[in-house]
Structure 1
């Protein structure tokens, strides 16, 4: 298990260096901040936000802040059971038979299966998101964002933010603490092997960010991150 964590850590930083490109020279400790600095111009006001990041990076901190600023979540359809504390406006919880009926009725955009669970988005909700007349945010993997925003012209009018932890070890620490809290609340938890498997899948997804106009933001301090988001969420988006 320990060796697997070491291998994943190497893969994680190798991926970050690939995303940074040859022009950015930095140590592992400074690399996330150099990526943030290099993509700061992409952190801009918009009526649409897409938030991506590896589990434990702190996406919820950002999405909760956007909700307080009047942004509405683009809900995912899912066949998994509702978790304790989850609200009805966060997901559309349906059964597998219902999902299949909606699929036949052509209601679902990008239907896919992940970890044994069916996922997708209502086509009507995607249309509202892309229209850009209302304030929306979406919590998506990079692959999901690429499917959601298929045209470069739409991506240019959307603020895509990839949340980075200050280090890989901090990332592992955060998700380990989260799973311990879930265990104490008698909720379903991920095993250490499942955590590593998820990291491997999400690091592979992170590689795709090179082909999308993501602004990287290091979630090392809640106040600093909230300040950065407040500056663009409060400002009016540019007219299109």
Structure 2
């Protein structure tokens, strides 16, 4: 086969099942920045848009950053089983709508989640084979506080609240498949993308592989 010869197409019965890539961290450790960079680099990756009861922040777009709902609407989604996971974080509720995620996975697309350890535990219970989880740690507590302060989104009281909660959040690091210490964002993004690339090749996600190999053995 020459360089100009196109690669043979795979059989139509072969396809890859998508995966759920979860990034979790204490607030300010960098998971949102890493998630944004991954989405920019990879066309096969789509962001899960969570539903939330919290108020919209300046610059956020409904349906893009979050689905902003009332508490009554959120409770209805929970009762109807329309959420894959949900949790209460800083006095507000967050949850993942089930239908768009299941459609993406079946279509071979990967879904990126920016959720906490509570949501990750629920996803693990419901869809462990589809889940790949990464916990992002800050390089130090001092750097975490500096990042929270420099983004100028929260009051000092809110920053203190988030720092207090960070210790409990970080205690769940061992529940994750991978851990990245985010000392340098470029390096952290590269590591996260390497994990994603490798996990796409996991045997159980390559639907039709067994039949394909049997064909190879038969000389097809």
**Normalised by the size of structure 1, how large is the TM-score?**
0.65
Higher-Rg structure is 2
Matched, 1:102 2:77: yes
2:85–2:96: 8 Å Cα contact kept in structure 1? Answer: yes
Q: How many residues align?
A: 183
For the aligned residue pairs, the C-alpha RMSD in angstroms reads 2.6
Q: Structure 2: any 5+ residue segments left out of the alignment?
A: 1-17, 205-220
Any idea what the Cα deviations from partners look like across 1:100-152, whole Å, max 9, x if unmatched? Answer: 3434444234444333323222232454476583211111111210112216x
Q: Please give the alpha-carbon distance, in whole angstroms, between the structure 2 residues aligned to 1:130 and 1:161.
A: 19
The residue aligned with 1:74 is 48
Q: Please give the alpha-carbon distance, in whole angstroms, between the structure 2 residues aligned to 1:119 and 1:157.
A: 21
123-132 or 80-89, which deviates more: 123-132
- Which of 44, 50, 56 is the aligned partner of 2:28? 56
Q: Please give the alpha-carbon distance, in whole angstroms, between the structure 1 residues aligned to 2:77 and 2:190.
A: 41
- Which of 159, 162, 183 is the aligned partner of 1:220? 183
Q: Structure 1: any 5+ residue segments left out of the alignment?
A: 1-45, 183-188
The structure richer in helix per residue is 1
195-204 or 57-66, which deviates more: 195-204
CA shift in 2, pair 1:116/1:157, >3 Å: closer
2:53–2:74: 8 Å Cα contact kept in structure 1? Answer: yes
- Which of 34, 37, 48 is the aligned partner of 1:65? 37
CA shift in 2, pair 1:137/1:89, >3 Å: same
**Normalised by the size of structure 2, how large is the TM-score?**
0.71
The residue aligned with 1:176 is 149
Matched, 1:115 2:90: yes
Q: Please give the alpha-carbon distance, in whole angstroms, between the structure 1 residues aligned to 2:196 and 2:80.
A: 36
For residue 84 of structure 1, give the secondary structure of its aligned residue in structure 2.
coil
2:52–2:93: 8 Å Cα contact kept in structure 1? Answer: yes
